[in-house]
Structure 1
Amino acid sequence: MSGGVDSAVAAARAVEAGHEVVGVHLALSRMPGTLRTGSRGCCTIEDSMDAQRAANVLGIPYYVWDFSERFKADVVDDFISEYSAGRTPNPCMRCNERIKFAALLEKALALGFDAVATGHYAKVLPGASGALELHRASAEAKDQSYVLGVLTAEQLAHAYFPLGDTPSKALVREEAARRGLSVAQKPDSYDICFIPDGDTKGWLADKVGTATGDIVDRTGAVVGSHEGAHAFTVGQRRGMRLGTPAADGKPRFVLEVRPKENTVVVGPKEALATALIAGSRYTWAGLAPADPASEFACEVQIRAHADPVPALAQVVPDAAGAAELVVTPEIPLDGVAPGQTAVIYVGTRVLGQFTIDRTVSAVPVGV
């Protein structure tokens, strides 16, 4: 129970369905000031109090479990490491993967519980073979299957999403009000919860330091300087000190971050078009394709609220001989950064996901 309206109503529905329900709030920091507060947080002291009030209304036991050490190691430190390596991580994906459906589920099962229920908008349904599958929620606008794409078959077997069939968030809020839950109109939370003021650039500078480096164009010519490559993400346009204007006078965008060289590569917007993405860190949400080494049709989604794009996917050996999931979209993707998560769908079903390690631009250098 995060302290928001979705998890409160999910708990209420689980109680109404006849389950034995225990409310759990996750304490993710031993220093509350390091988490965002108000409507922008999800795991602060005030959120814990909101969750407890909801549990009291529902008449269920309520506990706060301290996962702060695991959260720091698996989410915060991972976030810093990924940015330091020039990648753009998604901490909410890591939190779902390593905290809510790994650490939390492990503890729940050890204590004798059957499942972890959350307020996510997604569905777990049996497939044609009887094996469980993860599917999009009924409400496309609120669908959250993307951030759950990291779940494995074993985790799906112990996941319960009571809101999956709800057509809209407005109906959830109305239900919360009818049930007397004080969080009925509480604003949605925003990431990133562990950066209190929302200044990611400043937060990273404090954690990893600053170092002056070059900003170069696609030919390698120096066109500006920066004070830390970690402060840049692919697709970024503002905040660059470019002393040399582009020949055509058009704005330039960040195309690549090279932390080992402490260099940022910029270029035209057209060069952000991505013709291929690939990654070796992939998992399947349920049964894997019968023959993933053979090219198969799918849709790929690279952000939580992005539109899925038709694509072809295939598991192939990478340059080092390890397996790599390669996806070629029918139309180029825009502004993809290594470190992002790509989730693969077949219809409404989440087939799997991977962390993007490399991308190939649809626009060759010099064009």
Structure 2
Amino acid sequence: MVAKVYCGLSGGVDSALAAALLVEQGYDVTAVYMRNWSRDLPGFKCPWARELADAERVAVTLGIDLEVWDCEAEYKATVVDYLVDAYAHGYTPNPDVMCNQTVKFGTFLDRALAEGADFVATGHYGRVERCADGRTHLLRALDEHKDQTYFLWRVGEEALARTLLPVGEVRDKAEVRRMCAERGLGVENKPDSDGICFVGPVGIRTFLLDSLERRAGDVVEWETGRVLGRHDGAFLFTVGQRRGLDLGGGPARYVVGTDVEKNVVYVTADHDSPALFCREIALDDMRWISGEPPAVGRYLVRTRHTGELREAELDGCALRFEEPVRRVAPGQSAVVYDGLRCLGGGIVQK
């Protein structure tokens, strides 16, 4: 019996190739466009209708049905509202991580299985390993530069067991684009998506000021306590940030911390300041793909998408590095790997 796959089709390059490969592999494919966000922002018209039109053209080319599912309520509650609340409390969240957990491998997966799908598929760069013992693992993509397992660490084994990630086996993005062109999918020249999709070119600052109350406060030099300038809200700044401080010239300065209750932003002009480095990261809200935490020991850790994989000791809720590493903004993800396998991770705490 032919396996039925519901493939998320966003109108972009990667999901288009994923759908094409599944059709070629003999699956019974139904494409689904998830309408997660359609709100326009000042100066930015949400491109969802244009992306849907591209998805429709790809589906017609492949000869598969396309359904449009309204996921806006779930997306707003679990991704957009999460982002705004996190920033309001002084964290720098990663909305893509939550979107994958709650929408793409939550709402989408649950509904697809309820409608009779055997699997769901997306255009994510990652690989699913199915072992003889019945266990399922998440592996980094063949293209290490595009690998997206950093955003998939909250997707559990049960969901991964019903997931196909065809693009994760492709060598690199150039090859993905070439394969799209060979199949006449018409999306091979579309630019890569970058940043937070629902914010678009207006930027996170404009989005947050449209959602949270502007609060003037002080920018303070970390070493001396001297007030250097003013800001519109401590929630607008994140650890390590250099641009947007608007301090009227002088040396470049870096944010070393924020206090959203006192509404103060602390900065330093020292690029190598000890306030910008740490040897230990405390984690919270940890999730492990297998459902069980790994044993205490040394693992590879990634704290930024495409960031360097560094060795660290995992001990409960703490990651310890042998050498000082750049501090990670509270709210970001620290993702743990055993070789190629993504084990899970946690949210960086203050």
Q: What TM-score comes out, normalization by structure 1 length?
A: 0.86
Secondary structure of the 1:104 match is: helix
* Residue type of the alignment partner of 2:16: A
Distance 1:149 1:36, change over 3 A: farther
* Ranges in structure 2 where 5+ consecutive residues have no aligned partner: 1-8
The answer for the alignment partner of 1:340 in structure 2 is 332
The answer for the alignment partner of 1:311 in structure 2 is 312
**Distance in 2, Cα, partners of 1:19 & 1:354:** 35
- Of residues 125-134 and 17-26 in structure 1, the stretch that sits farther from structure 2 once superposed is 125-134
CA deviation profile, 1:237-293 (whole Å, cap 9, x unmatched): 2332559x9xxx864311111111111122333221121111220101225345x4x
The answer for the alignment partner of 1:365 in structure 2 is none
Q: What TM-score comes out, normalization by structure 2 length?
A: 0.90
**Distance in 2, Cα, partners of 1:114 & 1:256:** 47
Distance 1:171 1:36, change over 3 A: farther
- Of residues 57-66 and 126-135 in structure 1, the stretch that sits farther from structure 2 once superposed is 126-135
CA deviation profile, 1:98-143 (whole Å, cap 9, x unmatched): 1111111111111121221011111111358541110011111221
Matched, 1:356 2:348: yes
Conservation of the 8 A alpha-carbon contact between 2:286 and 2:347:
yes
* Ranges in structure 1 where 5+ consecutive residues have no aligned partner: 316-324, 359-367
Deviation of residue 89 (structure 1)? Answer: 0.8
Secondary structure of the 1:235 match is: coil
The answer for the alignment partner of 1:215 in structure 2 is 219
**Aligned to 1:62, which of 62, 66, 86?**
66
Aligned alpha-carbon RMSD (Å):
2.2
**Distance in 2, Cα, partners of 1:29 & 1:218:** 39
Task: Please show how residues 1-367 of structure 1 align to structure 2 within 5 Å.
Answer: 1-31=9-39, 44-127=48-131, 129-218=133-222, 221-224=225-228, 225-242=230-247, 251-267=252-268, 268-269=270-271, 270=273, 271-286=275-290, 288-289=292-293, 292=295, 295-315=296-316, 325-358=317-350
* Residue type of the alignment partner of 2:298: A
* Residue type of the alignment partner of 2:66: Y
**Distance in 2, Cα, partners of 1:275 & 1:203:** 33
- Of residues 172-181 and 221-230 in structure 1, the stretch that sits farther from structure 2 once superposed is 221-230
Distance 1:34 1:79, change over 3 A: farther
The answer for the alignment partner of 2:3 in structure 1 is none
* Residue type of the alignment partner of 2:319: V
**Distance in 2, Cα, partners of 1:121 & 1:34:** 32
**Distance in 2, Cα, partners of 1:254 & 1:98:** 31
Deviation of residue 92 (structure 1)? Answer: 1.3
Secondary structure of the 1:98 match is: helix
Conservation of the 8 A alpha-carbon contact between 1:88 and 1:340:
yes
**Distance in 1, Cα, partners of 2:190 & 2:323:** 39
Question: What fraction of aligned residue pairs are identical, expressed as a percent?
Answer: 39
